[in-house]
Structure 1
Amino acid sequence: MNGTLLSWALTAVVGLLTGHAWLNATRWLRRPPPGAASTDEPVAVLLPLRDEATRVGPCLRALLAQRGVPELEIVVLDDGSTDGTAELVRAVAAGDPRVRLLGGAPLPPGWLGKPYACQQLADRAGPQARVLVFVDADVTLGPYAVAAAVRTLRSASAVLLSPYPRIVAGSPAERLVQPLLQWLWLTFLPLAALERSPRPSLAAAGGQFLVLDRAGYRRVGGHAAVRDRILEDVELARAVKRSGGRIALADGSRLAECRMYASWPELRDGYTKSLWAAFGPPAGATAVVLLLLLLYALPPLLAVGAALAGAPTVAGVALLGYLLGVLGRLVSAGATGGRGWPDALTHPLSVAVLGWLTIRSYHLRRRGRLTWRGRPVR
């Protein structure tokens, strides 16, 4: 294939994918109602913690400030923290009767830490709770977030709702990589089909803020059904579909915000621990990474090379392909409360860094060196 045909082919595919992201963002992405919301259903908010003393304060204060949920309980599990997490929870809760602090049991064989913590929390939620809301310590909810999320769960007739929070990216590394989370599912997942199709392969979820109908959660088998899965959130969504339930994604950027990683080492290790599970077998991961690099990293290189070689047509078409990729990032940022300009201009570099993190993930997994929060990941 000559340069002109290659540049046109890449540009056409990127244009179609950006158009798909726009359709997802404007027509098929659920958005909880803005402003005040309320629900009469009893809700249990479940907060798993392991060495989260630097993060849990704002999270717990926001949970205590929830409105529109008359019957709300907050169950917190301290999973063997050594940094004073439990003491901080007690100080912030200040005896509020809605808060119960549990000590985590030792991790049994065959379980990973996060699923086991979530299962313990679900088991200890009060019997009156009809909805379970799992929240991570790095998430800060708005005052009506829980009520609005429960209303959206019911309006979608879903067992599981994943309202993606607004991702806060402070450092250059975060701004480079974190926006890819929403961009990937908006660009490549058909959201309308994801809700309607019973196929477990069409599933996505983010465990930072996850809302579940309790009866449906029990039918699935709870987190015990995904006890050994590093991406327990996505696997739980797939389990819901296998049980005949429905899942839904929503833009939760007006309900919650999340800063997942505060430094490059945290971000690098966080992605490394899970990318191998996200992409599946190495052959499939290789194909996906090569395709992403071909579509989004090659066009600007092709444009520069063609311009230097005196091929203005190829350079112009390749530049258009690069700009369509940038537009896709802007669409994603606009739909999910992210930072668009000028970060979107670095989209080719973002994709290249994602490729490197994926290679690192498979390499360390093959050598048995993946760990997270002091525990091995197998």
Structure 2
Amino acid sequence: MTPAFTGTAFAGAAVAVSAAGLAIAAVNAVAAPRLRADRPVTEPVTVCVPARNEADTLPLLIADLRAQRDVPDLHVFVLDDDSADATGAAAAAATAGDARFTIESRAGDPPSGWLGKTTACARLAELAAGRDGILVFLDADVRLAPDALAAAAGALRRLRVDLLSPWPYQVAVTPAERLLQPLLCWSWFASAPLPVANHGLRPSMAVACGQFLVFDAAAYRAVGGHRSVASCVAEDLELARMLRRSGRRTAVALAGHLASCRMYSSAARLRDGHGRWLWTQFGSPAGAAAVLGVAALGYTIGPALARPRRWGLAAFGCAVTSRLLARRAESGRRLATRDGLDAATHPLAVAGLAVLTVDSHRRNRAGSITWKGRPLATRARIAGP
């Protein structure tokens, strides 16, 4: 194979992959549902917050929940999951005696075959068993605008789904965050056309973000809730897939103007956080290699080796534009200069994701993955397609 032919082959692959991603992102920029505050919620809304070592972040979420509007029948259950810090005391102080909040503590490691988060969420679901209507799971590091819950509940019913995943704006501050965190939204925004993904029942096209999940309470219980995904690292995605397998619809909606989350505040935490679940993606190491190979053709190696060079530049332009469309939609606000600078690093970001994925598989094989002081790999399983 001559170098010229190789460059042309890379050019064709790069342009095809990146242009397809841009086309899907353009469709989603127009068609993706967005949360909107419109009317008061007339049914019960129950919020469940699992919290482990969240003494600094949990009070901020509690303050946001206390400020919610147009949710007259609201109750919040908070579970302090064997924290080593003052999470429980911080939660109690933040609620200030608000009768809408119930705080419970749980001690000890998860039972055999369970992970920490699924254990905590299943316990919270038990506490909420006497309440019907809408069941919400929120991570402790999520921030909410005052209309967020009402808008999410309204969207669940307006879209006629059993699970709505409002996608929060992923806050990125440090260089590592700015490089990689925007890929979370871009990865589905440029690959899953929502007019198809949100309206079908194909499990492989489900999109979910465990930071903010809104369920029809009866549907959640009908599929077994978190008990049915006890050992899944990606329990959010597996719950969405289970609902679809049972004939129930799920959807993702853009919520960045009403909800945000800063997942990891350092490069080390980002590596550990992504490392705990990236090994579960794409079904197997072979599946991960195939997906990352296509990504490399479209966004890293392909554009770099494409000949003529204008093809490589075209592929790079498509990649940057798709990422900007995803970031604009995710944030719900105008793009800033830094967004453009971050998008220009897209080839490095995709390469960084590949490195993190390989590292996650390596650590999983070694049994060395931990999260918040607990081992994961020895008891976790991969969600089904």
TM interval, shorter chain, is over 0.9
Matched residues in 2 for 1:132 and 1:341: separation? 37
Choose which of 30, 33, 42 in structure 2 pairs with 1:30: 33
Aligned to 2:102: 100
Deviates more, 1:12-21 or 1:204-213: 12-21
- Kindly indicate whether the alpha-carbon contact (under 8 Å) linking 1:18 and 1:187 is maintained by their aligned counterparts in 2: yes
- Kindly indicate whether the alpha-carbon contact (under 8 Å) linking 1:48 and 1:117 is maintained by their aligned counterparts in 2: yes
User: What does 1:97-136 correspond to in 2, within 5 Å?
Assistant: 97-104=99-106, 106=108, 107-125=110-128, 127-136=130-139
Matched residues in 2 for 1:279 and 1:88: separation? 39
Matched residues in 2 for 1:239 and 1:160: separation? 11
Q: CA deviation at 1:239?
A: 0.8
Q: CA deviation at 1:3?
A: 1.9
Is the counterpart of residue 317 in structure 1 residue 319 in structure 2?
no
Aligned to 1:370: 369
Tell me which amino acid in the other structure corresponds to 2:323. R
Q: CA deviation at 1:279?
A: 2.2
Q: Does the residue aligned with 1:149 lie in a helix, a strand or coil?
A: helix
Tell me which amino acid in the other structure corresponds to 1:150. A
Q: CA deviation at 1:77?
A: 0.2
Aligned to 1:349: 348
Q: CA deviation at 1:201?
A: 1.8
User: What does 1:41-56 correspond to in 2, within 5 Å?
Assistant: 41-56=43-58
Choose which of 262, 267, 282 in structure 2 pairs with 1:259: 262
Aligned to 2:326: 332
Deviates more, 1:147-156 or 1:329-338: 329-338
Q: Does the residue aligned with 1:96 lie in a helix, a strand or coil?
A: coil
- Kindly indicate whether the alpha-carbon contact (under 8 Å) linking 2:27 and 2:193 is maintained by their aligned counterparts in 1: no
Choose which of 78, 84, 92 in structure 1 pairs with 2:80: 78
Q: Does the residue aligned with 2:47 lie in a helix, a strand or coil?
A: strand
Q: CA deviation at 1:25?
A: 2.0
Q: CA deviation at 1:36?
A: 5.3
Matched residues in 1 for 2:28 and 2:185: separation? 11
Tell me which amino acid in the other structure corresponds to 1:152. A
Q: CA deviation at 1:82?
A: 1.1
Deviates more, 1:125-134 or 1:111-120: 125-134
Q: Does the residue aligned with 1:82 lie in a helix, a strand or coil?
A: coil
Q: CA deviation at 1:57?
A: 1.6
Matched residues in 1 for 2:126 and 2:243: separation? 18
Aligned to 2:20: 16
Q: How many residues align structurally?
A: 367
Aligned to 1:310: none
Aligned to 2:62: 60
Tell me which amino acid in the other structure corresponds to 1:365. N
Tell me which amino acid in the other structure corresponds to 1:250. A
- Kindly indicate whether the alpha-carbon contact (under 8 Å) linking 1:36 and 1:144 is maintained by their aligned counterparts in 2: no
After TM superposition, the score normalised by the length of structure 1 is 0.94
Matched residues in 2 for 1:36 and 1:157: separation? 16
Choose which of 65, 90, 93 in structure 2 pairs with 1:91: 93
Aligned to 1:241: 244
Choose which of 145, 153, 157 in structure 2 pairs with 1:154: 157
- Kindly indicate whether the alpha-carbon contact (under 8 Å) linking 2:122 and 2:226 is maintained by their aligned counterparts in 1: yes
Deviations 1:3-56 (A, max 9, x none): 2343134213311221111102212x11112x5542111111110000011211
| % identical equivalent positions | 45
Tell me which amino acid in the other structure corresponds to 2:25. A
* Structure 2 unaligned blocks of 5 or more: 378-385
Matched residues in 2 for 1:168 and 1:5: separation? 37
Aligned to 2:197: 194
Matched residues in 2 for 1:96 and 1:322: separation? 53
Matched residues in 2 for 1:131 and 1:206: separation? 17
Aligned to 2:181: 178
Deviations 1:238-290 (A, max 9, x none): 11111211101000111201001111111010001100112221111111112
Matched residues in 2 for 1:257 and 1:13: separation? 30
Tell me which amino acid in the other structure corresponds to 1:372. W
Aligned to 1:361: 360
- Kindly indicate whether the alpha-carbon contact (under 8 Å) linking 1:21 and 1:187 is maintained by their aligned counterparts in 2: yes
Q: CA deviation at 1:103?
A: 1.3
Matched residues in 1 for 2:159 and 2:228: separation? 23
- Kindly indicate whether the alpha-carbon contact (under 8 Å) linking 1:130 and 1:214 is maintained by their aligned counterparts in 2: yes
Matched residues in 2 for 1:178 and 1:37: separation? 33
Tell me which amino acid in the other structure corresponds to 1:333. R
Tell me which amino acid in the other structure corresponds to 1:246. R
Q: CA deviation at 1:299?
A: 4.2
Q: Name the Cα RMSD after superposition.
A: 1.4
Matched residues in 1 for 2:168 and 2:134: separation? 19
Matched residues in 1 for 2:30 and 2:346: separation? 22
* Structure 1 unaligned blocks of 5 or more: 307-313
